[in-house]
Amino acid sequence: MKLNYMLLDVFTTTRLKGNPLAVVLKADGLLDDQMQAIAAEFNLSETVFLQKPKSERHTAAVRIFTPSVELPFAGHPTVGAAVVLGLQSRATAVRLEEKVGVVTCVIERVDKETGLARFALPKLPEEIGKAPSNAAIAATLGLETSEIGCGLYQPAQFSAGVPYYLIPIKDAEALKRIRLERRGWEDVYPGGRGSIYVFTQTPEERGIDFAARMFGMGIGEDPATGSAAAALIGLIARLSDNGQHEYRLRQGYEMGRPSIIELQVRKADDKLTHGGIGGHAVIIGEGVLNLGD
């Protein structure tokens, strides 16, 4: 069995930056354990497998795997898959069947190897539990307790399909100084997969509203995490006025993989009615998987 695949960098237009992604095309013949093994072989934060959709109205079914588990939803695989399909078909929109639900993506072609995809969250973020104490959080990050919290933002636990602890900290300098202490991690962060999204506001950075770092999911630090940004939309909405708001978030800068994630938040009658994620992706390579007979 031979399968074509593409390699992309997502949430960037610059090759070898952003978050790497493998997209395996026409993967209908693969079993679940084969997809998991291929994702482990690529050893990227996520690998996408494109299959025929169940509905004729949809463009493709999407399966998303980390090296160790399948995910119901993730942002950078959704953007990357949408850009691949949009560039191949020259479509301006695609509908993807993901485990979390159907995701509709609007696509803009930049050139033959680069595109921009935006999509509405198929599941709006919701608070799913309590956050640890600021002192416990600070100990896991190598920071002072006084550095936990940013303006009106305080730690919370949200999910838009994948659970995260959202940890606001004082400023971008504190974000850069994080030194993880893994001892006792599961006791401090028992929910979900123990993944945390540490963020701060960046009023001093032109064109950037938030900066963030993600730790967890068995992959250490991630250069750009759309599912975490989607969860963050829930916390942002809590402190936003009614109406539509757009934000730009940077991630991966401390890793040398700068990424930009676009966020959309819409509130009406003090309730979140729409959350959106957007970003670029650029194809950097392609190849063939040879799985033998």
**Residues labelled catalytic:** 46
Strand partners, 30: none
3-state secondary structure of 21: strand
3-state secondary structure of 220: coil
Contact partners, residue 157, CB within 8 Å, separation at least 6: 127, 128, 129, 130, 131, 163, 164, 165, 166, 191
Q: Are strands 163-168 and 196-201 parallel, antiparallel or unpaired?
A: parallel
Please provide residue 38's backbone torsions phi and psi, each rounded to the nearest 5 degrees. Answer: -65, -40
Residue tagged 């730009």 (tokens): 248
Contact 252, 279 (CB under 8 A): no
Q: What would the DSSP string read from start to end of 105-133? A: EEEEEEETTEEEEEEE-SS--EEEEPPPP
User: At 226, which helix (H) or strand (E)?
Assistant: helix 226-238
User: At 259, which helix (H) or strand (E)?
Assistant: strand 259-268
Contact 123, 131 (CB under 8 A): no
| DSSP state letter for 169 | B
Token output for 252: 């991966």
Can you tell me the distance from the alpha carbon of 164 to that of 228, in angstroms, rounded to the nearest whole number?
6
